[in-house]
Every structure is written in structure tokens, then in C-alpha cells.
Amino acid sequence: MSTSQDAVPSSSVPPSERGNAPILQGKGLVKTFGRVIGLDGVDLELYPGEVLAVIGDNGAGKSTLIKCLSGAYTIDAGELTLDGHTVKFSKPQDAREAGIETVYQQLAVIPALDIASNLYLAREERRPGILGSVFRMLDKKGMRDRASTSVQNLGIQTIQNMGVAVESLSGGQRQAVAVARAAAFGSKVVILDEPTAALGVKEGNAVLDMIKQLRESGVPVIVISHNMPHVWEVADRIHIQRLARRAAVITPQSHTMGEGVAIMTGAMTVEGVESGRAAG
């Protein structure tokens, strides 16, 4: 780190009123791809009830970090804990079963299927009793009803009919389905990789509202975004990833967008290791 750069004192971070134990924590996470270092000993904390944004330049390791949290990649070193217990994920299903739902950059929906089917993709519910257990009949009505409830819970009023094919929906509505899918399964943590990148202004705002609703419903969210106004609007804390490491954790109150971008690009450094949660 250069000494000629401006340093922001960590005391500028306001105290947090949230609980003390992270629900999801990564300690010293390492992930390499041959000679390329994707993550070089990264710490991450997600606290109950918060939206944690992850920002960083291209190649900083944001997607790699998220993939390690969601079981798409296995970490080479370091430790992951969920609810205080060490977890080891070797496939996405492991993380999902532990309660971590991830919506990837690429829209995670199948356009030709209807909304309810998309919501229940890979976990279709069987009819109760012998019809389901022996005849393997899908509980289509139940799935639609529950799909409808979860979409409504997220305040997506524009989607009325759960039987409509997802290909007829707008980009924002499709993203909404992907988020609703992630939120619909009693998840402990929802992770979104660039949820508003492919969306227009209005749709992007709708997804932001959904993120806020998720937080209100008690589900903590990790969201990767390049959209600084979105990040400053929705995040409780901001994890800044730079050159495969965590450069800082700031809050929208402690730092301006310009300062956040300066830390991201290395134009500004931060004293010590901030957590964005000053003691007290």
C-alpha cells in the first residue's frame, strides 16, 4: 500500500445496532485457479438482518467469493461457518440444503416454463399421500398457490398469473421470479450476483425493493453490484474486494460513493482492517 494515498480513519464507521454473531462467516478464504489467485485469504461476515453489498473492479474476486459461499467452488483453504458451525460445501446442493440460496449473474430461470414451475425447479413437490409417494404425481395446484404467495410476499404485484410462461415476462419480472425462488424456501441467506445489471431503471428499482423486502422479512442478503447508487441505497455494509483481497468494509454513512470507488480502484486506502461495525 502506498503511503502517499489518502487514508480514511476507521473511527468514521458508525456503531452498529445489530447482533454480534455473523450468520455466515468466511475466514481466510483461498481459491486459486492454477497460477491465478481468485481469493487470497478473504474474510467476510454477514450479520442477521442486513444487506451486505460486495463491490470491486472486474477480476477482483467477487464472483469467486460468491461461488465459494454457494458451493459452486470448493475453497482451497480457510473456513466457512453458518450459524456458528463449520460447513464444507463441495457442490451447490450442499449450500442450498444448508439454507444458502444463490441467484447468479446469468438469469436462473427457464423461459419456456411457467412461473410456478420455475419457482419449484429441481424441488417439485409431490401430491400428498400415495398419489405423490407411489405415483410420483406433482402437486401443481399446491406449487402454484405457494408460488403466488411467495411472489406476493416480495411485493411483485405485476406478476398476477403463476401459470404464465416466464418467456413472456420482462427482464425485471424474470429476475423477480429468480429472487422469489431464492426467497421462497425458508432460506437463511440469499446471495445475488449482479441482480440489476441486465435491467432497465424501473426493473432495477423493483429488484432493489425486493432486496429490501427480503431484509424486512428477516433474510439477510449478500448482493454483488456495479451500480453504486443502488449499493449506497440498499446496503447496510459494503465489502470492497480488490485484487483477490478484502480492501475494506465501509457503510453508506461512513464513506461517499466516490470514496468507495477510490478504495475499489486503489486510489484510496483504508487504515487497518475495518469491519464496518465499530465496537459499542
Ligand X SMILES: Nc1ncnc2c1ncn2[C@@H]1O[C@H](COP(=O)(O)OP(=O)(O)O)[C@@H](O)[C@H]1O
Q: 273 is written with which cell numbers?
A: 482492517
Question: What's the order of all strands across the beta sheet hosting 36-46?
Answer: 36-46, 24-33, 77-82, 85-87
> What's the CA gap between 125 and 207, in Å, rounded?
27
Closer by beta carbon to ligand X, 117 or else 196: 196
Place of cell 461495525: 277
* Cβ-based nearer residue to ligand X, 10 or 225: 225
Distance from C-alpha of 161 to C-alpha of 267, rounded to nearest angstrom: 49
Contact with ligand X (CB under 6 A) among 22, 26, 38, 260: 38
- Euclidean distance between CA atoms 239 and 43, whole angstroms: 10
Task: Please state, in angstroms and rounded to a whole number, the distance separating the CA atoms of residues 214 and 102.
Answer: 13
Residues in contact with Mg ion, shown as a per-residue x/- string from 21 to 60 under the rule CB under 5 A: ----------------------------------------
Residue 108 Cβ, how far from Mg ion at the closest point, in Å? 15
Candidate segments 17-25, 32-40, 140-148, 180-188, binder of ligand X by CB under 6 A: 32-40
Per CB under 5 A, the list member of 16, 25, 63, 227 interacting with Mg ion is 63
- CA–CA distance, 23 with 72 (Å, rounded to integer): 20
How far apart CA 10 and CA 28 sit, in angstroms, is 21
For residues 224-243, which are near ligand X according to CB under 6 A?
none
Give me 53's grid cell: 453489498
Residue number, 60 or 147, with CB nearest to ligand X? 60
Name the binder of 38 from ligand X, Mg ion, none, CB < 5-8 A by kind.
ligand X
State the binding partner of 243 from Mg ion, ligand X, none, CB within 5 to 8 A by kind. none
Q: Does 227 engage in binding with Mg ion (CB under 5 A)?
A: no
Q: In the window 44-73, what residues touch ligand X (CB under 6 A)?
A: 56, 58-64
Q: Which residues contact 155 (CB under 8 A, 6 or more apart)?
A: 209, 210, 213
d(CA 62, CA 103): 14
Instruction: Report, in Å, the least distance between residue 157 CB and ligand X.
Output: 33
The distance of closest approach from Cβ of residue 252 to ligand X in the complex, given in angstroms and rounded to an integer, is 21
Alpha-carbon distance 16 to 49, whole Å?
12
Shortest separation between residue 247's beta carbon and ligand X, angstroms: 12
Residue 58 site contact among Mg ion, ligand X, none (CB < 5 to 8 Å, cut-off depends on kind): ligand X
Binding stretches for ligand X (CB under 6 A)? 33, 36, 38, 56, 58-64
